[in-house]
């Protein structure tokens, strides 16, 4: 049963407080029921993302024999503001790290972490970072992410005592964009850039309070309600659009039916009830004149004018998006009009020669 809760929480950290609290709640249930390592590791990550490192440290301590449990424990200490202690724990942990895939990955991250702390402390210049946030009020602060995926809260002057604490954890992929040297970061700040404009946290983390979860989950409920309202409005608008299209289709169909009835009267002797054969075309000048609605022996100009008026309304391109049956009717009408024009133009030419 607990695996269902872990699966529902998802493999990645949510990007909103409400989403993170949902994950924390699901993983807390799973961890309390059977104490699985996966649930505890996920719970510790969620608490770090919500900036509650003391509680995350307690959870990570239960999985401190695992590589990732050690890693999250180091992050919790640094996020609490004890950066030097976090660096010392990282150095000891790296020496005792098991030679496993997870152990080797955590060791790499610990190496990067040590280099990043030294660079931000002014004793090294080899680490690379990504600028993800900056603010000038109420105090000047910068938010960086290193290749280790650790976020750092620092004074924009950096160097010396500029590193304040580890910032809330953003996930293992955060370090993928860390490719700027410290000098390049400072140049970006001098140009007024703020990176990805991620919110900059306070200098100190806050203790966990029940109302935080309740508020976040309540806001999530309102967000879902707003989303459902938005979707309902989209459905309403789509229905109105479909109804409008339906009216247009009905109008077009009525026009084509009327035109077909006119051709039926032309094609049958005394306007009989029999429908003209499929693909009806006029065969004599009299039938052609009836199709175009002109008198006997029309001039070329009269034929062309009548043809243009009728073919403009019956051309298949006008009904290209409508039902295939309507398109077929339009095609048949166009063929009849084209044939009628040809017959009458030829007849007009012969009359002129005679």
Summarize pLDDT for 155-210 with one digit per residue, the tens.
877 655 689 999 999 888 888 889 999 889 888 888 888 888 888 999 999 888 77
Radius of gyration of the chain (CA): 38
Specify the DSSP class assigned to residue 195: T
Write the CB contacts of 256 (distance below 8 Å, at least 6 apart in sequence): 314, 319, 326, 329, 330, 333
- 2-208 classified as CATH 1.25.40: yes
b/e per residue, 202-230, with b = 16+ CB within 10 A?
eeebeeeeeeebeebeeebeeeeeeeeee
Cα–Cα dist 155/107, whole Å: 28
Cα–Cα dist 318/323, whole Å: 12
Average pLDDT over residues 73-82: 95
pLDDT-derived band at 58 (thresholds 50, 70, 90) equals very high
Residue 266 has pLDDT above 60, yes or no: no
Q: Which residue has the tokens 């529902």?
A: 8
Residue 271 has pLDDT above 50, yes or no: no
Q: Hey, which residues does 154 pair with through a beta bridge?
A: 142, 163
**Helices 210-267, 17-34: inter-axial angle, 10-degree rounding:** 120
Would you state the pLDDT for residue 81? 93
Residue 153 has pLDDT above 80, yes or no: yes
Average pLDDT over residues 48-73: 94
Average pLDDT over residues 278-286: 78
Q: Which residue has the higher pLDDT, 255 or 293?
A: 293
Would you state the pLDDT for residue 273? 42
Would you state the pLDDT for residue 268? 52
Residue 151 has pLDDT above 90, yes or no: yes
Domains of the chain, residue spans = 2-208, 246-353
Q: Quote the mean pLDDT of the chain.
A: 83
Taking each continuous run of H as one helix and of E as one strand, the counts in the chain are 12, 4
pLDDT-derived band at 267 (thresholds 50, 70, 90) equals low
Per residue in 206-225, pLDDT (tens digit) is: 888 776 666 766 665 666 66
Write the CB contacts of 11 (distance below 8 Å, at least 6 apart in sequence): none
> Which class in CATH covers the domain with range 246-353?
mainly alpha
Specify the DSSP class assigned to residue 252: H
pTM value? 0.60
Specify the DSSP class assigned to residue 180: B
């Amino acid at each position: 049963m607990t695996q269902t809760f872990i699966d529902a929480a998802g493999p990645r950290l949510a990007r909103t407080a409400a989403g993170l609290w949902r994950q924390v709640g699901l993983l807390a249930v799973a961890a309390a029921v059977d104490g699985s390592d996966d649930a505890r590791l996920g719970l510790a990550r969620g608490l770090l993302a919500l900036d509650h490192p003391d509680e995350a440290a307690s959870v990570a301590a239960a999985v401190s024999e695992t590589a990732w449990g050690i890693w999250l424990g180091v992050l919790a200490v640094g996020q609490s503001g004890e950066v030097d202690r976090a660096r010392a724990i990282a150095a000891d942990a790296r020496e005792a790290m098991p030679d496993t895939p997870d152990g080797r990955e955590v060791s790499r991250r610990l190496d990067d972490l040590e280099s990043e702390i030294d660079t931000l402390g002014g004793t090294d210049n080899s680490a690379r970072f990504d600028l993800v946030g900056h603010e000038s009020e109420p105090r000047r602060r910068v938010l960086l992410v290193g290749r280790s995926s650790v976020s750092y809260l620092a004074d924009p002057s950096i160097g010396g005592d500029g590193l304040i604490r580890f910032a809330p954890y953003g996930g293992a992929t955060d370090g993928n964009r860390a490719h700027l040297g410290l000098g390049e970061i400072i140049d970006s700040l001098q140009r007024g850039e703020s990176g990805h404009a991620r919110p900059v946290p306070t200098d100190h983390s806050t203790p966990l309070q029940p109302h935080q979860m309740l508020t976040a989950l309540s806001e999530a409920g309102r967000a879902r309600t707003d989303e459902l309202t938005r979707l309902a409005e989209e459905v309403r608008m789509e229905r109105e659009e479909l109804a409008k299209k339906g009216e247009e289709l009905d109008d077009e169909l009525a026009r084509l039916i009327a035109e077909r009835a006119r051709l039926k009267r032309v094609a049958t002797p005394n306007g009989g009830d029999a429908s003209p054969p499929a693909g009806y075309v006029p065969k004599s000048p009299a039938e052609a004149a009836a199709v175009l609605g002109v008198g006997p022996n029309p001039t070329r100009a009269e034929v062309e004018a009548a043809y243009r008026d009728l073919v403009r309304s019956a051309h298949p391109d006008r009904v290209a998006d409508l039902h295939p049956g309507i398109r077929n009717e339009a095609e048949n009408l166009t063929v009849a009009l084209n044939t009628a024009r040809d017959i009458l133009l030829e007849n007009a030419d012969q009359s002129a020669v005679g």
